[in-house]
Amino acid sequence: VHQWRGVIAEYADRLPAELSQQVVTLREGGTPLIPAEHLSELTGAQVHLKYEGLNPTGSFKDRGMTAAISAAAARGAKAVLCASTGNTSASAAAYAAKAGMTCGVLVPDGHIAMGKLSQAVAHGATLLQVAGNFDQCLVVARELSEKYPIELVNSVNPARIEGQKTASFEVVDALGDAPDIHCLPVGNAGNITAYWQGYREYADPAAPGANGQAAATGTPAMWGFQAAGAAPIVLGHPVEEPDTIATAIRIGNPASWQRAEAARDESGGLIDMVTDEEILDAHRLLSSREGVFVEPASAASVAGLLKMHAAGRVPAGATIVCTVTGHGLKDTQWALKGADGDDVEPTRVPVDPDGIAAALGLA
Ligand code: F0G
């Protein structure tokens, strides 16, 4: 009997040896790459969704967190800390619980989805709502980790990037080669950094674990998308008061800003922005046509792809992967709104087959 062992065990030879010393895993990774027929038809490309909501805590953060917590465990750390818009805190809390470490999380006051808050609490983290936004939380978290014996597990921790790069390996392993284009949402910009590193290493015969043989013939163009109200990289300057309904990417001064620009430029890609309306349209399309339920920030990748298609920038027949980063159950309020923005109310029916048949449009 074989089950997926988690990203460190599956890709050990491609990762720093220190990660394998004391592995803390919830068997993250191994997520499906789902062909998206409706999106393919709309764009004239072959579109696939890398559904990262199916990780143990419901987001891609688990790939990086197994690495960060395993590295911390190998160093004998007893306490970890992160700043978060929600998913990192949920993941850090779960992996710290598994490792028997204490976990502190700093989240911006308000603007964090209830599903994510409930995870951090359930896993026993000390949850602190800071009177500030995510960028301010990260500044304080960095200071704390320098002054006190507590390890920072944000994506400025190099182990996080190592773990998250495995998503690119899985895409190439599933497709048999790199896609032409890879779309993803950009917040603090760790993930676009990690994907680009993973793609480069898989195309490089001299990379760790490659044994002189490249696993892919090339690398994709990296297409990153920020929310229009939180688009510092697109605008070329930090955004003091970032705002978007996609709270996961409500970030005005990304820690990996330069590395995101490098990924864009080295890959021949782009970083653009999408409005909240475009994000919610893509969110509805994913739910209603592709059967894939995501949180709003995740839909930014698909919203961006559709925006680029409308601008005539999607080559016909291209192989495209959109990462959808987090599960829809994280932040359910948007699913309960119709396209008009009104709350969707269930239709009430009596216990009566004929009445129900009428409500179903059968009679
Ligand atoms: N999508 C989701 C669902 C996220 O939670 C995040 C980041 C991103 C996309 C953007 O990824 O930061 O690597 O560019 N969430 C972080 C957090 C900031 O605290 O959970 P990024």
Q: What is the pLDDT of residues 4-60, one digit of tens each?
A: 999 999 999 999 999 999 999 999 999 999 999 999 999 999 999 999 999 999 999
Scanning the structure block, which residue is given the tokens 């944000």? Answer: 154
* The model's pTM: 0.97
CB atoms < 10 A from the CB of 207, how many? 17
Structural domains of the chain, with CATH: 7-59+162-334 (3.40.50.1100), 61-159 (3.40.50.1100)
Binding-site residue positions for pyridoxal 5'-phosphate: 87, 187-191, 325
The rounded distance, in Å, linking the Cα atoms of 10 and 30 is 9
Nearest-atom number in ligand 1 for the CA of 251 is 18
Minimal-distance CA residue to ligand 1 atom 3: 326
Q: Give backbone dihedrals phi and psi of 113, rounded to 5 degrees, phi first.
A: -70, 140
Whether the complex's predicted ipTM is more than 0.90 is answered with yes
* Paired tokens of 166: 């495995």
> Which residue in 205, 227, 225 sits closest to 214, CA to CA?
205
Q: Determine the 3-state secondary structure of 69 from DSSP.
A: helix
pLDDT digits (tens, 9 = 90+) for 109-164: 888 999 999 999 999 999 999 999 999 999 999 999 999 999 999 999 999 999 99
> What percent of the chain stands above pLDDT 70?
100
Please indicate whether residue 242, judged by its CB atom, sits closer than 6 Å to ligand 1: no
CB atoms < 10 A from the CB of 284, how many? 16
Averaged pLDDT for residues 80-84? 98
Please indicate whether residue 187, judged by its CB atom, sits closer than 6 Å to ligand 1: yes
> Which residue in 220, 222, 236, 230 sits closest to 279, CA to CA?
230
Averaged pLDDT for residues 199-228? 98
